[in-house]
Amino acid sequence: MYWTLELASKLEDAPWPATKDELIDFAVRSGAPLEAIENLQEIEDEGEIYESIEDIWPDYPSKDDFFFNEDEY
């Protein structure tokens, strides 16, 4: 399983919190790339509820990780 920023961004609008099956269903319905769906299918499912993409990919960058000054625009 590997995540990229592009793949993970396809799940930003997912109905959080969600189960693995709900995330897979959302990815299929929203037209996410096959790689994102395969990554979700590889998650070991123990009936967990995922609160956000960070629960799936802990290294997902937040807005604080970017050096973008919103006040300049």
Tens of pLDDT along the chain (73 residues) come to 788 888 988 998 999 999 999 999 999 999 999 999 999 999 988 889 999 988 998 887 765 555 556 666 5
Q: What end-to-end distance do the CA atoms of the chain give, in Å?
A: 37
Q: Is the pTM of this model over 0.85?
A: no
Identify which of 68, 63, 58 has the alpha carbon closest to the alpha carbon of residue 3: 58
Q: For 11-36, b where at least 16 C-beta lie within 10 A, e where not — what string?
A: beebebebebebbbbbbeeeebeeeb
Tokens for 56?
A: 């799936």
What is the SS3 assignment for 18? Answer: strand
